[in-house]
Structure 1
Amino acid sequence: MDNPHLVHTILLAQSLLLFTCLFLHSNCETITRDDEKAVLLSLERSWGGSVTVNWSSVIYEDQCNWPGINCTDGFVTGISLTGHGLNNLPAAICSLTKLSHIDLSRNSISGSFPTALYNCSNLRYLDLSYNTLVNSLPSNIDRLSPRLVYLNLASNSLSGNIPSSIGQLKVLTNLYLDANQFNGSYPAEIGNISALRVLRLGDNPFLSGPIYPQFGNLTNLEYLSMSKMNIIGKIPAAMSKANNVMFFDLSGNHLSGSIPSWIWSLKRLVTLQLYANHLSGQINAPIESTNLVEIDVSSNNLSGQIPEDIGQLEELERLFLSNNHFTGSIPDSVALLPKLTNVQLFQNSFEGILPQELGKHSLLFNLETHYNNFSGTLPEGLCSKGALAYISMSANMFSAGLTEVQIQEVNLSGRLPSNWASNLVEIDLSNNKFSGRLPNTIRWLKSLGVLDLSENRFSGPIIPEIEFMNLTFLNLSDNQFSGQIPLLLQNEKFKQSFLSNLGLCSSNHFADYPVCNERHLKNRLLIIFLALGLTSVLLIWLFGLLRIKVLPRRQNENTTTPRWKLTAFHNINFNYQDIICGLADNNLIGSGGSGKVYKICLHNNSYRFVAAKKIVSDRSRSNMLEKHFQAEVEILGSIRHANVVRLLSSMSSTESKVLIYEYMENGSLYQWLHQKDMRNNNEPLSWPRRMSIAIDAARGLCYMHHDCSPPIAHCDVKPSNILLDYEFKAKIADLGLARALAKAGEPESISTMVGSFGYMAPEFGSSRKINEKVDVYSFGVVLLELTTGRFANGGGGYENLAQ
């Protein structure tokens, strides 16, 4: 370095290099932020305009203020675009080098798992649930960020095995892989993820196998869901080390052996679901899980008596012991539980009397004790809290000890029964939806003193025998009774008993009721006699026709029971006999113009309950119409979407057809919006939950309109056709009016009116043209109901909510 020129040159070069580095560094942040904005705009272009948030319109604003974008220290660290109809996940998303949070759930992202996410080196949170991902997870899924703590791939269509490499994601705390189509195996290596707090693998058709004892290493686990996974064998003792678990669900499997005693000593346990397995033995261990809110061990082979310890669980709300072999009586302490709302004890061998305090100390909502050996009288305070909405006690040995029936404001419908307990002293069925005529058998209730049938839909005349009963209180107001008020009841004592029955009249200017027109009555009698005469002639003619044409044909037919054909659209392990046995009146949960719906309990089955809709066939249908019906059922059976109620199978015979759907535990959106029993006995729908329901329903309709081939128009979108599962996930139901459109965008003409008043698009009434827009209008009315809580057709006359 003796040459001064060389030294000067070197120093100049170093200075230039240092200046260049400093210059580049000073502009590095600006370039990176501009790059981030460019990446976000490229993502928007990749999604093809499906993003409902238009980033391009705010291009000159700081991207940290864009919808769905979260920043830390000025850099993009989070993207949350749930429910925006996105159809892919561009690889460019990982160009956002600071990105740690991705939530693209409830979209339409398809294809295999996007391995481009391996390049998101800072990723901590990834939610791709409720999309349409398919195929197997990659074997090198452990190449995801080593910082990943949350991974949610639930409710897709992933299949094959869960790779063992997933156990290398050591810091995972939440892993959701449930509700997919995994049909291989799940790895024992999941037990190596010691940080896991939430593990959900349920609702997948895995190969049969036991629970790995390695899962006992998950000592931080709080939520475990492994339902409907084809698990066999016993519950391993090693899992007792997971003593922080709060939610424990192994339902719908093939587990055997007894319920381990350590389960009942889990101090933090809140929910225990072991239903629909092959568990046996008794519950004889001390129950120390004092935080339990739900116990569901139904549909097993359990026996013995109910331990007294259950009566010490003061947080218990739901007790499900049905479909077992339990014996003995129900401990009296159970009736004293302050939060007990739902008790299902049916189909066991219980005996003795029901605890006499039952119903007095909690808002008991549901009680099912049918098919046991209970005896004695019913608890006097069973309905004292006014919350009881459903009760089933058939097939027992109760004595005639019931003296009062008080079932008000629970929206019960149908006709009154003809048989009543003879020693009833009070009947209060006010504010329901009972219809039809009063049964004549009421006159035999000699001890009856109080009869309140107000605010129902009873019609026809008031039976004259009622005036000879020893009633001290009578209220038949707000019904549709007609004819003359019984003479002995036309006095001051019963002046208020018949209000708001526009068809009633009096014989002696009683109160403000019109005087019955004797001549008008004679004319009506004449009309009735003429109608009876014509009816008799018609019946004689029909009887003759029957003898000539029908009876000879029947003599040549076999008299065997109808032959049923079962068509399955999903993996099921029940047969037609399981369904036919459940089509009984005590399982009836609804009826309409197209048939009756039954809630059927399936023993030891992956589906604990199913909903079966029975449709009576019309023998006058042509073969072409029958084929058309079958074709439409097959279309509906091919639907695979998380927000459309699954049609599990169909059954058909010469006399009727049965559609078997998945059962939705939380009923319909209509019930939660408009029925008093749901609103009074449950927390109201929160605004976030209403938003989630709206998004779920929109996704189901979007799938039917855009992803089905051919597209499907529902034609009757309304709250009663939006059902809610146990997690309040909404699903589109009752596609009985649905039309498969021949070509997308081309309306189909129909000759009959479909849909429901208040939800039909105005132009449909005149054009009778069906396309997807019919559903869009109806869904708009549903959104109005969700936000206002008003009825769609509550305006009276021809007005509706949309108008």
Structure 2
Amino acid sequence: MGSPKALLIGVLQVLLVGESSSQPTSRDRATLLAIKNAWGNPKQLASWDPAVNADHCNWTGVACEGAGGGRVVTGISLPSLNITGKVPGSVCDLTNLTRLDLSYNNLTGGFPGAALYPCSQLRFLDLSNNFFDQALPDDISRLSPAMEHLNLSANYFRGAIPAAVAGLPALKSLVLDSNKFTGAYPAAEISKLAGLEQLTLAYNAFTPAPAPLEFAKLTNLSYLWMSSMNMTGEIPTAYSNLANLTLLVLSDNNLSGEIPAWVWQHQRLEFLYLFNNSLTGELPRKVTAVNLRELDVSSNNLTGEIPEDFGGLGNLSLLFMYENQFTGTIPASITMLPNLREIWLFRNKLSGELPSKIWSIPKLTTLNIQNNNSTGSLPAKITENIQRIVIGNNRFSGSFPTSAIGLQVFNAENNLLSGKLPPDMSRFPNLQRLLMSGNQLTGSIP
């Protein structure tokens, strides 16, 4: 049997080992309670209470890694909890924190650099949709060099975007849209972020300037959102280098010239939004961007005919081309698109007969071709999925589509419809708007 001294040393060693393995847990728990206290102990964080749940890794929005007493807090995710105040200075006492999501709250103040710079392992930071304001600091590059995802969108940050925002070499996502930024953005510096996959600068009042050619270097980009930021000139041909794009949004700018051919040949592009610019020219006959799902080139000055090749875009669900100068007929090929849900072609110069099979596109919910010069007859059978038929100010004939029992809106003003209205409109329980003046219909609306 060992001596009492030896036994005591052994017990102390066991206790020390136990304390060592539990210290990270107890320290992180204390830090979480300090964060909660700094926010005024909001009821949304009622679970952050050892009396309610001794294991803080099960508290709302807390993520841990490790096993047993050695578990450490690696993530805090508290979106949409109506949290007020500022980012607590104690947050980086969570020394293993890699993810912090405080989006969609009511946090205020300037960019919380002092609170966040000590978070040496932080890879994901989302402060979007809060009430942060003031200019971003020139030393924002003091954030963790491991930072991959930085989302500061939908706040009130103002002034120029500092070049230091591009001083985070590991960035894959830089999300700065919907703020009050002005001046010139640091395009040359941002273009050096070789690993960038997502970039948003939209909805900021930058100084008018052409689309930055430097961004053509960001060949890993899959998501590029640059709406409403006072861009001028043409869509760069050099952007054809962005072979990984799945989303391209350049809407609500002052872009001019033709849509480059590469756009219509892009093999990965799924979402294309170029609406509300001053783009001109005809669309090419050859369209091979077969992965397009949503296409919006509305409110421009585009001319010519709608390409027959659109019928090969088998994934297309939204076709928005309204308020342009398109001519000719609507191609019959688009009636073969199995996923097409919405067709918006109003206020163009389209003519000729509407393809009869358009009424049987299986997923079609909306057809809006108002203010054209199209003809054709409304058929007896229309898909029950259709909810909105807007064909006013054309030259359609036929009668009210009694088979379209899912209708919510029917606008056929100023056409050549005839016949009687249905005696029982209760067959259309969802109908909210009915406009049929300027036709040759008889009967009355019950």
Given candidates 90, 103, 106, the residue that maps to 2:104 is: 106
Matched, 1:431 2:428: yes
CA contact (8 A) 2:417 2:440 kept: no
Q: Which has the higher strand share?
A: 2
Matched, 1:363 2:359: no
In structure 1, C-alpha distance between the alignment counterparts of 2:401 and 2:126, rounded to whole Å: 55
CA contact (8 A) 1:271 1:294 kept: yes
1:704-733 alpha-carbon deviations (Å, 9 max, x no partner)? xxxxxxxxxxxxxxxxxxxxxxxxxxxxxx
**Deviation of the 1:171 alpha carbon:** 1.6
Match of 1:40 in 2: 32
CA contact (8 A) 2:271 2:294 kept: yes
In structure 2, C-alpha distance between the alignment counterparts of 1:148 and 1:443, rounded to whole Å: 66
In structure 2, C-alpha distance between the alignment counterparts of 1:434 and 1:30, rounded to whole Å: 64
Match of 2:175 in 1: 176
- Aligned to 2:159, what secondary structure does the other structure show? coil
CA contact (8 A) 2:285 2:309 kept: no
CA contact (8 A) 2:120 2:144 kept: yes
- Aligned to 2:252, what secondary structure does the other structure show? coil
Pairwise mapping of residues 764-779 of structure 1 onto structure 2 (< 5 A)?
none
**Deviation of the 1:62 alpha carbon:** 2.9
In structure 2, C-alpha distance between the alignment counterparts of 1:371 and 1:40, rounded to whole Å: 61
In structure 2, C-alpha distance between the alignment counterparts of 1:78 and 1:443, rounded to whole Å: 67
Match of 1:245 in 2: 245
1:671-707 alpha-carbon deviations (Å, 9 max, x no partner)? xxxxxxxxxxxxxxxxxxxxxxxxxxxxxxxxxxxxx
**Deviation of the 1:427 alpha carbon:** 7.5
Matched, 1:65 2:65: no
Report how many residues are paired: 422
CA contact (8 A) 1:175 1:198 kept: yes
TM-score (norm. length: structure 1): 0.49
**Deviation of the 1:217 alpha carbon:** 1.6
CA contact (8 A) 2:283 2:306 kept: yes
1:337-380 alpha-carbon deviations (Å, 9 max, x no partner)? 222221111111111111121122323211111222223x2352
Match of 1:729 in 2: none
Match of 1:127 in 2: 126
- Which residue identity does 1:131 align to in structure 2? N
Structure 1 residues 443 and 420: CA distance shift in structure 2, 3 A = closer
In structure 2, C-alpha distance between the alignment counterparts of 1:192 and 1:204, rounded to whole Å: 22
Matched, 1:345 2:325: no
CA contact (8 A) 1:413 1:432 kept: no
Pairwise mapping of residues 652-691 of structure 1 onto structure 2 (< 5 A)?
none
Larger Rg belongs to: 1
Given candidates 410, 413, 421, the residue that maps to 2:417 is: 421
Given candidates 38, 41, 53, the residue that maps to 1:49 is: 41
**Deviation of the 1:126 alpha carbon:** 0.8
Pairwise mapping of residues 473-552 of structure 1 onto structure 2 (< 5 A)?
none
Match of 1:215 in 2: 215
Match of 1:408 in 2: 405
- Which residue identity does 1:62 align to in structure 2? D
Match of 1:84 in 2: 81
Matched, 1:395 2:393: yes
TM-score (norm. length: structure 2): 0.86
**Deviation of the 1:147 alpha carbon:** 0.8
In structure 2, C-alpha distance between the alignment counterparts of 1:294 and 1:320, rounded to whole Å: 8
In structure 2, C-alpha distance between the alignment counterparts of 1:108 and 1:423, rounded to whole Å: 58
Match of 2:7 in 1: none
Match of 1:226 in 2: 226
In structure 1, C-alpha distance between the alignment counterparts of 2:234 and 2:17, rounded to whole Å: 63
Matched, 1:327 2:327: yes
- Which residue identity does 1:138 align to in structure 2? P
Pairwise mapping of residues 141-160 of structure 1 onto structure 2 (< 5 A)?
141-160=140-159
- Which residue identity does 2:106 align to in structure 1? S
- Aligned to 1:358, what secondary structure does the other structure show? helix
CA contact (8 A) 1:211 1:236 kept: yes
Match of 1:501 in 2: none
**Deviation of the 1:288 alpha carbon:** 1.0
Pairwise mapping of residues 605-644 of structure 1 onto structure 2 (< 5 A)?
none
Structure 1 residues 80 and 426: CA distance shift in structure 2, 3 A = closer
CA contact (8 A) 1:225 1:250 kept: yes
Q: Which has the higher helix share?
A: 1
**Deviation of the 1:263 alpha carbon:** 0.8
- Aligned to 2:360, what secondary structure does the other structure show? coil
- Which residue identity does 1:39 align to in structure 2? T
**Deviation of the 1:410 alpha carbon:** 3.0
Structure 1 residues 192 and 285: CA distance shift in structure 2, 3 A = farther
CA contact (8 A) 2:413 2:439 kept: no
CA contact (8 A) 2:421 2:441 kept: no
- Aligned to 1:359, what secondary structure does the other structure show? helix
Match of 2:94 in 1: 96
- Which residue identity does 1:154 align to in structure 2? S
CA contact (8 A) 2:110 2:135 kept: yes
**Deviation of the 1:393 alpha carbon:** 1.9
In structure 1, C-alpha distance between the alignment counterparts of 2:125 and 2:286, rounded to whole Å: 42
- Aligned to 2:334, what secondary structure does the other structure show? helix
**Deviation of the 1:403 alpha carbon:** 7.4
Structure 1 residues 418 and 190: CA distance shift in structure 2, 3 A = closer
- Which residue identity does 1:311 align to in structure 2? G
In structure 1, C-alpha distance between the alignment counterparts of 2:405 and 2:267, rounded to whole Å: 40
1:201-251 alpha-carbon deviations (Å, 9 max, x no partner)? 212222211221121122121121111111111111221111111111111
**Deviation of the 1:83 alpha carbon:** 2.3
Structure 1 residues 51 and 147: CA distance shift in structure 2, 3 A = farther
1:437-479 alpha-carbon deviations (Å, 9 max, x no partner)? xx9x99985xxxxx9x9xxx93xxxxxxxxxxxxxxxxxxxxx
- Aligned to 2:356, what secondary structure does the other structure show? coil
CA contact (8 A) 2:154 2:178 kept: yes
In structure 1, C-alpha distance between the alignment counterparts of 2:329 and 2:72, rounded to whole Å: 66
Structure 2 unmatched runs, 5+: 1-11
- Which residue identity does 2:234 align to in structure 1? K
Structure 1 residues 134 and 404: CA distance shift in structure 2, 3 A = closer
Structure 1 unmatched runs, 5+: 1-19, 446-450, 459-803
Root-mean-square deviation (CA, aligned residues, Å) is 3.2
CA contact (8 A) 2:156 2:180 kept: yes
Percent identity for Structure 1 against Structure 2: 37
- Which residue identity does 1:132 align to in structure 2? F
Match of 1:10 in 2: none
